[in-house]
Structure 1
Amino acid sequence: METQYTLILQGLGRQPGMLGTIFRKAQNRVQDPAILKRLIHDLINKETWSGGGDINGDAYESLLSKGASDKGSGAGQYFTPRSIISAMVEVVRPTVKDTVVDPACGTGGFLLGAHEYASKGAAHMNPEQRQHLKASFVHGVEIVDGTARLAAMNLLLHGMGDAKGQSLIEVKDALIDDPGKRWSVVLANPPFGTKSSITMVGADGKDAREDREIERNDFVVTTSNKQLNFLQHIMTILDINGRAAVVLPDNVLFEGGAGEALRRRLLNDFDLHTILRLPTGVFYAQGVKANVLFFDKKPASETPWTTTTWVYDLRTNKRFTLKKSPLTREHLEDFVQSVKPGRPREERVESERFKSFTYDQLIARDKVNLDITWLRDESLEDLDNLPAPDVIAREIIEDLTAALEEFAAVADALEAKETSEA
């Protein structure tokens, strides 16, 4: 039985399309034949697995969420909190007319969120639209085999794709090249950390050397910073008049050099209309201070497309933890209401946490720094407002971890420069 099971897994992994992605490099980790028999025959075989897509999909999502909270497994780095996904999707408002891509899809949370939102009008769709929603509405790219399997199964259990059809999840490094295809919506939370596993060579001819070299003429700046490269990649694959919502760490907003050059292009060639400053303590990965950038791609123009950028600060004087005080969708409701999705931006109104900044104000800032704050941290002025000791400790750890990431990136850059000069 053990031998036969192993052969079955290997055969399924060689199948084309969705089935091959789900069983890609699958292994039998149950070495005891007696335990394997009990698992398959006595437990799995006696269950009824016809509960429906919604029930099976929700159960699978619950398992993924529990896996993400397990620090030992490291699964949290591929998992974006569903409350953040829901708010991002509601602002972007994908419809059945769109095509949605996530170039670092993890377990597929953004793709599920977009599909669920667009499916609200399914009762009024024609057969072609329903087929598009099922078979070609979403596309994901994931570099890690095991995570790609989870994403493919996640989509399948939620009614997307076909086990015998083309896979909606592509297993590769999204930064390798320009895929040629363009999508109308990009939703993404690229992997944290600054060091890239590859060498990038941009149109400027410079290189950031590491293991292997990749030349991309569509990249306007050369850097080994993964977030900046993912941002450039997203700027490439987004179709004209397409909408993007991307989670990016603070350093993308203030880093000089390549970061400054990229921010200038983003403000000029795209409409960067909204920035959401996320609070700390909401991601499973430690040391993350992140933001969500919402921007639209526009046709070529002699004048900058960004006229006004609205910044919502959900970080200052906000305290969240993963277990005791998690960020919920309700905590993001004021942000969504302030943005007024689908309404003219002229209807937006400034508030204590929601401020607007003109293009001239942004471009005049030192290095076009978009890490903008205006609220005072109450805990620095009133000792009675200090958070709990465990929250303070966690924030100190996150600050130190983020600082170490930055120092490591500087050290890697210096080492690469010395190697290239030698």
Structure 2
Amino acid sequence: MNVQQLENELWEAADQLRANSKLTAAEYAMPVLGLIFLRHADNRFKAYLPEIEADIPAQVPADQREMLIKLGFQGKAAIYLPEAARFDRIASLPQGNNVGEVIDAAMDVIEAEYEVLKGALPRGYPAFETDLLFDLVKIFDRPAIKAATGDVFGRIYEYFLNKFAMSGAQEGGEFFTPPSLVRMIVNIIEPDHGLVLDPACGSAGMFVQTGHFIEDVRHQQANDTVTFHGQEKSDTNTKLARMNLVVHGLDASNIRQGNTFYDQVEHLVGQCDFVMANPPFNVDGVDTKKVEGQVKPIEQGGRLPFGLPGTNAKTGAISNANSLWVQYFYAYLNDSGRAGFVMASSASDAGNKDRDIREQLVNTGHVDVMMAIGNKFFYTRSLPCTLWFFDKGKPQDLHDQVLMIDARNVYHVVSARSHIFTDEQHANLNAIVWLYRGETDKFVALVAHYQRQVDAWLAAIPGRIAADSATIEQLAAQLQAFAQGARLTELNASQPDDAQLTQAQLDDFKGELAAAQADTCAEGNTNTAIAALLAACTQARAAITRADLASHSGQRTLQAALDALAPQLRSAGKVLEARHKQWLKLIETADKTLRARSSKAFDGKAVRDGRRALLAADPKKNEDPTVRDAVLDALKQAAYFIHQVHWLHSRFPHGLFEDIPGLCKAVTVEEIAANDYSLTPGRYVGVAAAAAEDEDDFAETLREIHDELAELNDKAVELAGRIARNFEGLLG
């Protein structure tokens, strides 16, 4: 779904609460999160319901049918919702009903079904004004939110914590982990068995993504293969974590409240197969006396095997807890365990005792990968970070190496405030790790996947071009009928003298129409460009069919042909867009200049339909893609997946790991020692050689500049309005 669209609709909910509720932010934030829980639970319930109902005979009585539906949800990545808790029932209540009591009752029946949620779900909805609560329910019943997928609960949770002034914890360095970073961690450590620990679990986004990985990649059920253990110091967050796990059909029985600095979960030290976390950054004030007893070997239950970091000379407290977290994640791992976690960028370069801790850590041989991440990935703060990865089961030949990846220049612009990794950026960065680990089969499989995607999009192009051309032909027929049938007398009827149209204007329109019908536009002859593209697509698909996609050499041979096709795809897109603009201009001339609606020869509805087909759909209005969107998307997607293979092959032409300046380098322990045990990737990978910026990178940069400019313009308008209002107030 469109993230910005979701945010816009949530803003409306926030505005409703700020403006109309008698409750404070602290009072209404948790109930709103409970409402989101119901919405998200209903989304997932409906996703699985048809499959479950299909296995139930139609003649089964209603009460037995409901019991069979309930049984059918066992083992699914969703929960069974009793009738009284389904969002449709709440949203369909007539205005005036006590919707607050109905929502409280919904929470009651869910907790009755799921013991692990006892005391976790919010109540107190009757305290909301009835009309306001109805409006909120309607907002959360809109298509964009009903269609929300993925870890939307975690993202919305963090959104409301921030917007409803409950983000005081963020001042202590706590941030909701962006889904992009969670996915990167999960993809690299591949948590698919045993004990999985997150000692700073927040709303349990790490566990949710682990469930997706096991289901989507391993094709298994998470509850059958892993056991989640989570700890969170906040009671509110602990409840939210349980809610988030349960709504995804995951076991939440081992989520506990506790401060990880002091509450040790001793029985898990040295026992975990996987550890993942986004701990609070740069925390100071940890009581040294309470943690100094943890300084002992892991075999003796110690969580700080490399010693204490520095302390504040005045208070005696730990001055920065980053190195505590780093050691915790290491200590909880078993002899073959992997860890992945987010850390402030400063932690990989900090001096004094932090440096000594890093030295000991590096010398274990278990530091696997360090990945630098750029600004704007965090939802509420713009700050860079580093992903750390440990692997106690590293092959012996990699023990004296650490893979450094500088991913600060890899991102996709969502808005001026927000960057993410696309699915393909995730996969491409992950592919670097595969090659480093010698897993070349995964690299070949990824390239094959991209090339099959190219084939699928090339297959879609002829049909979409045909639909686009048919739309143009129909529009041409309508405008031709108007041009031939229009009479000056009807066009000028009831118009003042200075607004009278002339025959010359009609003739000019006919001339422009004739040029457009000849399929000639600013970018060239459309028919010629389309014919050449269709022939090239046919040849490329034939090459894909012949290619040996299971071998790197076969993929390389094929890619040479696909790389040659990419510019033609982009050029064809420009030609089609120019044709669309040409016909949209003709429609505007007919409608606005020539007053075509005054003519009986003008079919207004048919022309409006044609115009709509040549315009982009508005995502804010949940509009379906238009004919124009479909054809341009096919061209862009085909070129996009060609570019993904080009990105990989241009950097790793032999299908083997190589040091790539500005991107990645396998660094030896000796090199790290020579750099004072810094684990900052940028220090090692260097800078990429200057090269011509490709079109995709240029488009990304341009999009970022455009979004930043748009945001600045919006702020300028808002500020101007505020100044005007203040000025009016001063004048009385």
Is TM-score (shorter-chain normalized) higher than 0.5? yes
**Higher alpha-carbon deviation: 140-149 or 337-346:** 337-346
Q: How do 1:85-96 and structure 2 match up within 5 A?
A: 85-95=182-192
Q: Kindly tell me: are residues 228 and 305 of structure 1, through their superposed partners in 2, closer, same or farther at Cα, counting changes over 3 Å?
A: farther
Larger relative contact order, structure 1 or 2 (CA cutoff 8 Å, min sep 6): 1
Report the secondary structure of 2:261's partner residue: helix
1:221 CA displacement: 2.2
CA distance in 1, matches of 2:256, 2:294: 29
Does the CA contact (< 8 Å) of 2:191 and 2:210 recur in 1?
yes
* Pair 1:363 & 2:673 matched: yes
Correspondence for 2:256:
170
Name the % identity. 20
* Pair 1:132 & 2:224 matched: yes
CA distance in 2, matches of 1:391, 1:218: 45
Does the CA contact (< 8 Å) of 2:223 and 2:250 recur in 1?
no
- Structure 1 stretches of 5 or more lacking a match? 49-54, 206-215, 395-422
Question: Of 18, 22, 31, which aligns to 2:116?
Answer: 18
Q: Kindly tell me: are residues 391 and 58 of structure 1, through their superposed partners in 2, closer, same or farther at Cα, counting changes over 3 Å?
A: closer
Correspondence for 1:276:
371
Does the CA contact (< 8 Å) of 1:312 and 1:355 recur in 2?
yes
Q: Kindly tell me: are residues 99 and 9 of structure 1, through their superposed partners in 2, closer, same or farther at Cα, counting changes over 3 Å?
A: same
* Pair 1:144 & 2:234 matched: yes
Does the CA contact (< 8 Å) of 2:369 and 2:403 recur in 1?
yes
1:16 CA displacement: 11
Q: Which amino acid aligns with 1:143?
A: K
Map Cα deviations across residues 107-132 of structure 1 (whole Å, 9 max, x no partner).
Answer: 11111111221224776x6xxx8753
> Which structure has more helix as a fraction of its residues?
2
Map Cα deviations across residues 17-68 of structure 1 (whole Å, 9 max, x no partner).
Answer: 6223624xx5626525x739x959x998xx99xxxxxx99956843432343
Q: How do 1:111-130 and structure 2 match up within 5 A?
A: 111-120=207-216
CA distance in 2, matches of 1:243, 1:66: 29
CA distance in 2, matches of 1:81, 1:204: 31
Does the CA contact (< 8 Å) of 1:270 and 1:295 recur in 2?
no
TM normalised by structure 2 equals 0.41
CA distance in 1, matches of 2:208, 2:401: 31
Question: Of 195, 206, 216, which aligns to 1:110?
Answer: 206
Q: Kindly tell me: are residues 355 and 99 of structure 1, through their superposed partners in 2, closer, same or farther at Cα, counting changes over 3 Å?
A: same
Correspondence for 1:188:
277
Question: Of 183, 196, 208, which aligns to 1:100?
Answer: 196
Q: Kindly tell me: are residues 177 and 342 of structure 1, through their superposed partners in 2, closer, same or farther at Cα, counting changes over 3 Å?
A: farther
* Pair 1:328 & 2:413 matched: no
Q: How do 1:19-98 and structure 2 match up within 5 A?
A: 19-20=117-118, 22-23=120-121, 26=122, 28=124, 30-31=126-127, 35=130, 61-69=151-159, 71-73=162-164, 77-95=174-192, 97-98=193-194
1:315 CA displacement: 1.4
Does the CA contact (< 8 Å) of 2:231 and 2:260 recur in 1?
yes
Report the secondary structure of 2:163's partner residue: coil
Q: Kindly tell me: are residues 203 and 310 of structure 1, through their superposed partners in 2, closer, same or farther at Cα, counting changes over 3 Å?
A: same
* Pair 1:307 & 2:400 matched: yes
Q: Which amino acid aligns with 1:339?
A: V
* Pair 1:258 & 2:390 matched: no
Q: Which amino acid aligns with 1:132?
A: D
CA distance in 2, matches of 1:204, 1:99: 22
CA distance in 1, matches of 2:247, 2:114: 19
CA distance in 2, matches of 1:27, 1:341: 51
Map Cα deviations across residues 301-341 of structure 1 (whole Å, 9 max, x no partner).
Answer: xx998411111111158785655662123333321111117
> Which structure has more strand as a fraction of its residues?
1
Report the secondary structure of 2:264's partner residue: coil
1:151 CA displacement: 1.4
Map Cα deviations across residues 147-178 of structure 1 (whole Å, 9 max, x no partner).
Answer: 222211111111112xxxx7231111122143
CA distance in 2, matches of 1:169, 1:204: 23
CA distance in 1, matches of 2:191, 2:345: 26
CA distance in 2, matches of 1:338, 1:359: 20
Q: Which amino acid aligns with 2:433?
A: V
Does the CA contact (< 8 Å) of 1:298 and 1:305 recur in 2?
no
**Higher alpha-carbon deviation: 335-344 or 267-276:** 335-344
Does the CA contact (< 8 Å) of 1:80 and 1:109 recur in 2?
yes
1:8 CA displacement: 11
TM normalised by structure 1 equals 0.68
Map Cα deviations across residues 335-380 of structure 1 (whole Å, 9 max, x no partner).
Answer: 11111179437952222311121011111223x122242444999x
Correspondence for 1:405:
none
CA distance in 2, matches of 1:31, 1:218: 46
1:265 CA displacement: 1.9
Does the CA contact (< 8 Å) of 2:413 and 2:420 recur in 1?
yes
Q: Which amino acid aligns with 1:308?
A: Q
* Pair 1:218 & 2:303 matched: yes
Correspondence for 1:418:
none
CA distance in 2, matches of 1:190, 1:168: 19
Query: Rg bigger for which structure?
Result: 2
Q: Which amino acid aligns with 1:279?
A: G
Q: State how many pairs are aligned.
A: 353
**Higher alpha-carbon deviation: 224-233 or 353-362:** 224-233
- Structure 2 stretches of 5 or more lacking a match? 1-97, 296-300, 310-317, 441-655, 691-697, 712-732
Map Cα deviations across residues 245-264 of structure 1 (whole Å, 9 max, x no partner).
Answer: 11111121111122112211
Does the CA contact (< 8 Å) of 2:232 and 2:258 recur in 1?
yes
Correspondence for 1:338:
432
CA distance in 1, matches of 2:410, 2:253: 44
Does the CA contact (< 8 Å) of 1:21 and 1:169 recur in 2?
no
Q: Kindly tell me: are residues 304 and 170 of structure 1, through their superposed partners in 2, closer, same or farther at Cα, counting changes over 3 Å?
A: farther
Q: What RMSD over aligned residues (CA atoms) do the two structures have, in Å?
A: 4.6
CA distance in 2, matches of 1:217, 1:93: 26
Q: Kindly tell me: are residues 345 and 16 of structure 1, through their superposed partners in 2, closer, same or farther at Cα, counting changes over 3 Å?
A: closer
Q: Which amino acid aligns with 2:408?
A: R
CA distance in 2, matches of 1:314, 1:102: 24
CA distance in 2, matches of 1:326, 1:351: 24
Q: Kindly tell me: are residues 56 and 229 of structure 1, through their superposed partners in 2, closer, same or farther at Cα, counting changes over 3 Å?
A: farther
Q: Kindly tell me: are residues 105 and 201 of structure 1, through their superposed partners in 2, closer, same or farther at Cα, counting changes over 3 Å?
A: closer
Does the CA contact (< 8 Å) of 2:369 and 2:388 recur in 1?
yes
Q: Kindly tell me: are residues 35 and 156 of structure 1, through their superposed partners in 2, closer, same or farther at Cα, counting changes over 3 Å?
A: same
